[in-house]
Amino acid sequence: MALRVPHPNLSSLLLLSLLTIASAKVFFEERFNAGWESQWVKSDWKRDENLAGEWNSTSGQWSGDANDKGIQTSEDYRFYAISAEYPEFSNKDKSLVFQFSVKHEQKLDCGGGYLKLLSGDVDQKKFGGETPYSIMFGPDICGHSTKKVHAILTYNDTNHLIKKDVPCETDQLTHVYTFILRPDATYSILIDNVEKQTGSLYSDWDLLPPKKIKDPEAKKPEDWDDKEFIPDPEDKKPEGYDDIPKEIPDPNAKKPEDWDDEEDGEWTTPTIANPEYNGPWEAKTIKNPKYQGKWKAPLIDNPDFKDDPELYVFPKLKYVGIELWQVKSGTLFDNVLITDDAEYAKQLAEETWGKQKDAEKTAFEEAEKKKEEEEKKEDPVDSDTEEDADDADDSEADSKTDAGEDGEAKEEDAHDEL
Ligand SMILES: *[C@@H]1O[C@H](CO)[C@@H](O)[C@H](O)[C@H]1NC(C)=O
Ligand SMILES: *[C@@H]1O[C@H](CO)[C@@H](O)[C@H](O)[C@H]1NC(C)=O
């Protein structure tokens, strides 16, 4: 399949540089330019309850290029579910590269920024939290404890979390997340084109039972020496060591001049701790020359392990979806890409995020400065106004806390499902 050019207004420069990768197969690419809505289906999930959030087509409050739009969650305390279809494909014998950029303009305190790849037939109008997916990938933030990149793989109808911790970005700028799955069952997770984690599907997820297990029959040999340190047999107790008294008469003590032996009894010198006394004698310890290390049961082949050479294969990939709960809206997605070519993905990231990131940072800092100045200006002088403002602040904070707990509860539900 030739390179699919998703939208006509792709800059010609970008097109030229990307076309140089002739072998790249692009299964899906969405830059959210004009016309994106015809590619995506907004789900009716949670719409009856008035909890389905609307997307805003925008480059956001700060960006490196105001004309380069993405889609942003625009309402607080809402569920978001939207998906797009592409021609069904299998990643057998090729790499699967899944990439997108995400920016949390709202200083996200609890919410996801991940995308899902779905397989088979999905009723896109009903796409929601319960819809089975094949891969879920991207950042997830909730409170102080959850700030990680999710990489969930569905194998044999079970969702498996990655076992390695991959911290995500937490600032209010655009970042590119890339997941690469290779036919040799290795994977890489990149943030902003920098590899943050890599390894094997066999070891970093519990998709299959382990290849090797500890031999359950093995026993620690009776004569196994696992003492790392022993008393030095050469070390001898110095002669007279036990004769050193614990306490000695205080050499500075003097019998008081007005002491009356007849009335006060015989004067005895008070004692003090003997500085020469070092406690009971103990030999120095040395490294045990016969130390054999901690005993470990030998590993044997796991009889329950049956290899699956197609562990990495998702044979019917067909949709990409965003399904989120957001307490505070403002998460902006852009440049969703599914390809078999990691180099193509890298170049796309460089041509978009890479070219815009400095200008975006400047725009963000200016926006922050402006906000600060406005807040200063709005600082109320009249005491009545101040009180009103405080009340308003309180009720807002309260409702946020409530919703925050809901959000966390939902988060827990999501984790329970796994
Ligand atoms: C869409 O985003 C822009 C830029 O942040 C903002 O000015 C506008 O109010 C937003 N529209 C809606 C409907 O949220
Ligand atoms: C797949 O799932 C079934 C049912 O849960 C289970 O019996 C089987 O062992 C699983 N196979 C693998 C390879 O995990």
Q: Are 72 and 331 in contact (CB under 8 A)?
A: yes
Q: Give the pLDDT of residue 15.
A: 56
- Token duo for residue 178: 């890339």
Q: What is the pLDDT of residue 258?
A: 87
Give me ligand 2 centre to Cα 149, in Å.
27
- Residue 398 reports pLDDT greater than 80: no
Is 230 contained in some domain? no
Nearest CA to ligand 1 atom 14: 74
User: Residue 143: its pLDDT value, please?
Assistant: 85
Q: What is the mean pLDDT of residues 134-151?
A: 93
Arithmetic mean of pLDDT, 35-47 = 96
Q: What residues does 29 pair with on adjacent strands?
A: 337
The mean pLDDT value for 190-208 works out to 97
What is the CB < 6 Å shell around ligand 1? 56, 58, 60-61, 74
Q: Please give the full DSSP string across 266-330, using - where no structure is assigned.
A: ---PPEEE-TT--SS--PPEEE-TT---S--PPEEE-TT----TTTT--TTEEEEEEEEEESS--
Its domain, for residue 65, covers 24-207+312-377+406-416
Determine, yes or no, domain membership for 137: yes
- DSSP annotation of 23 reads T
Q: Which residues sit in the known binding site?
A: 114, 116, 133, 140, 323
Does residue 34 fall inside a structural domain? yes
Q: Kindly state whether residue 294 falls inside one of the protein's structural domains.
A: no
Compute the mean pLDDT over every residue in the chain, rounded to the nearest whole number.
Answer: 87
Q: Of the residues 153, 154, 156, 158, which should be mutated to test ligand 2's pocket, given the most ligand atoms within 8 Å of the CB? A: 156
CATH number for position 91: 2.60.120.200
| Residues 6 or more apart whose Cβ sits within 8 Å of residue 321 | 81, 82, 83, 84, 115, 116, 117, 118, 122, 127, 131, 133
For the CA of 160, the nearest ligand: 2
Q: What is the pLDDT of residues 73-88, one digit of tens each?
A: 999 999 999 999 999 9
Interval between CA 208 and ligand 2 midpoint (Å): 9
Assess if residue 6 is contained within a domain.
no
Closest atom of ligand 1 to 58 CA is 2
Identify the three-state secondary structure at position 362: helix
pLDDT for the residue 85: 98
CB-count exposure of residue 381 (10 Å: 0-12, 13-18, 19+): exposed
Number of separate domains in the chain: 1
Residue 376 confidence (pLDDT): 87
In a domain, 238, yes or no: no
Half-sphere exposure of 34 (CA within 13 A, CB side): 3
Q: What is the pTM of this model?
A: 0.73
Q: Distance, CA 240 to ligand 2 centroid (Å)?
A: 73
What amino acid occupies position 251? P
Q: Considering every ligand atom, which ligand is closest to the CA of 305?
A: 2
* Residues contributing to the annotated binding site for an alpha-D-glucoside: 114, 116, 133, 140, 323
pLDDT classification of 60: cutoffs 50, 70, 90:
very high
Question: Is the CB of 156 within 6 Å of ligand 2?
Answer: yes
| Burial class of residue 260 in the structure, from the number of CB atoms within 10 Å of its CB (0-12 exposed, 13-18 middle, 19+ buried) | exposed
Q: How far apart are CA 355 and CA 358, in angstroms?
A: 7
Q: Using the mean position of ligand 1's atoms as its centre, give its distance from the Cα of residue 105 in Å.
A: 12
User: What distances in angstroms separate CA 216 from CA 28, 93, 293, one per listed residue?
Assistant: 49, 37, 20
On whether residue 291 sits in a domain, the answer given is: no
pLDDT digits (tens, 9 = 90+) for 230-257: 999 999 999 889 899 999 999 888 888 8
Find the ligand nearest to 307 CA.
2
Among the atoms of ligand 1, which is closest to the Cα of residue 60? 5
User: Phi and psi dihedrals of 211, rounded to 5?
Assistant: -65, -40
Q: For ligand 1, what atom is nearest to the CA of residue 75?
A: 14
**pLDDT band for position 134 (cuts 50, 70, 90):** very high
Q: Is residue 396 part of a domain?
A: no
* Mutational pocket test of ligand 1: of 56, 67, 68, 75, the residue with most ligand atoms within 8 Å of the beta carbon: 56
